[in-house]
């Protein structure tokens, strides 16, 4: 069974601060995919990033970066220099190989104050 | 490229009625998945269709069903509605093909959702 845990319920920061969102996952598969999605107040889930279990290289994409560590089953996500438009609920999700079922964490509400 | 569209966006139904929601995936995507989002249970997977066949199913009662048409459009149906079925129903589309290392068949792109209220 696959499980995703986002321990942080809410995070509030002032604009330009960095925000790091924690995600811990459980799976018995050796091949799996990890995702981060953003859900603004409009309700639509917006795809942000995907990581494959066989590639632990951490990357930066614009103001987004992620830290994937298989040893601790963690997939943390950082927004650098946060902006008010980053205010949303952020979901971490896991999909096992050849399986289109996404298991989501409970989500972390990020509020960026001007 | 047009995104995922869902109709209707809002729906109010009465207990015991049935409802049909529609989803049109991104052009070229052959996999459609459905999710239910509620404040109490969060985001939960309902089912996934690929080439008109259900490939995967979540842990929901048989009142929840779906289908996919030859043009990849999908519908989900909920019969005998209960108050607890009030939720945001999200549809996601994906290429749906088996994944090669480094390719991106597993990214799912979501529609705006249908907000169902059961009274």
pLDDT in tens, B6-64: 999 999 999 999 999 999 999 988 899 999 999 999 999 999 999 899 988 999 999 99
Q: Is the pLDDT of residue A22 over 50?
A: yes
Pairing verdict, β A74-79 and A46-52: unpaired
More confident residue, A83 or B95: A83
CA A59, A48, B49: angle at the middle one, nearest 5?
A: 125
Which residues in chain A have Cβ-Cβ distances shorter than 8 Å to B107? 35, 47, 50
CB-based burial of residue A8 (10 Å sphere; 0-12 exposed, 13-18 middle, 19+ buried)? middle
- The residue-averaged pLDDT of A19-28 equals 96
Which residues in chain A have Cβ-Cβ distances shorter than 8 Å to B26? none
Range A23-44 burial, b when 16+ CB lie within 10 A, else e: bbbebeeeebbbbbbbbeeebb
CA A23, A87, A95: angle at the middle one, nearest 5?
A: 30
The helix/strand/coil state of A91 is: strand
**Cα B107 versus chain centre, distance:** 15
pLDDT tens profile B65-83: 999 999 999 999 999 999 9
Beta-carbon count within 10 A of B78 CB: 25
CB-based burial of residue B67 (10 Å sphere; 0-12 exposed, 13-18 middle, 19+ buried)? middle
Q: Are B6 and B93 in contact (CB under 8 A)?
A: no
| Mean pLDDT, chain B, whole residue set | 91
Of the given ranges (A13-17, A63-67, A95-99, B17-21), which has the lowest mean pLDDT? A95-99
**How far away is chain B from the Cα of A81, in angstroms, using its nearest Cα?**
26
What sign results for the dihedral spanned by CA atoms A92, B47, B24, B12? negative
pLDDT, residue A61, reads 78
Q: Which residue of A has its CA nearest to B94?
A: A100
pLDDT, residue B100, reads 47
Mutate to test the interface with B, among A27, A31, A39, A45 (most CBs of B within 10 A): A45
Q: Are B9 and A76 in contact (CB under 8 A)?
A: no
pLDDT, residue A98, reads 67
Which residues in chain A have Cβ-Cβ distances shorter than 8 Å to B92? 45, 102
Task: Give, in order, the Cα–Cα distances in Å from A17 to each of A22, A28, A63, A83, B5.
Answer: 16, 36, 11, 8, 35
pLDDT tens profile B80-95: 999 999 999 999 998 8
- DSSP output for A46-65: EEEEEEETT-----EETTEE
d(CA B53, CA B56): 9
The answer to whether residue A101 neighbours chain B at the CB level (below 8 Å) is yes
């Amino acid at each position: 069974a696959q499980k995703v845990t986002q321990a942080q319920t809410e995070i509030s920061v002032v604009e330009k601060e960095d925000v790091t969102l924690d995600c811990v996952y459980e799976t018995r598969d050796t091949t799996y995919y990890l995702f981060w999605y953003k859900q603004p107040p409009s309700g639509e889930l917006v795809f942000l990033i995907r990581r494959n279990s066989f590639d632990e290289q951490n990357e930066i994409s614009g103001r987004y970066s992620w830290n994937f560590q298989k040893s601790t089953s963690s997939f943390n996500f950082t927004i650098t220099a946060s902006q008010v438009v980053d205010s949303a609920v952020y979901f971490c999700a896991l999909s096992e190989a050849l399986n289109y079922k996404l298991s989501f964490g409970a989500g972390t509400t990020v509020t960026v104050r001007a | 490229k047009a995104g995922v569209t869902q109709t209707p966006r809002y729906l109010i139904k009465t207990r015991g009625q049935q409802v049909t929601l529609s989803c049109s995936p991104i052009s070229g995507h052959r996999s459609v998945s459905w999710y239910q989002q509620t404040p109490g249970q969060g985001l939960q997977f309902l089912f996934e269709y690929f080439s008109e066949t259900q490939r995967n199913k979540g842990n929901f009662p048989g009142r929840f069903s779906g289908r996919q048409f030859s043009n990849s459009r999908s519908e989900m149906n909920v019969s005998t509605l209960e108050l607890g079925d009030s939720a945001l129903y999200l549809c996601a589309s994906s290429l749906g093909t088996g994944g090669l290392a480094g390719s991106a068949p597993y990214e799912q792109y979501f529609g705006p959702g249908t907000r169902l209220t059961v009274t």
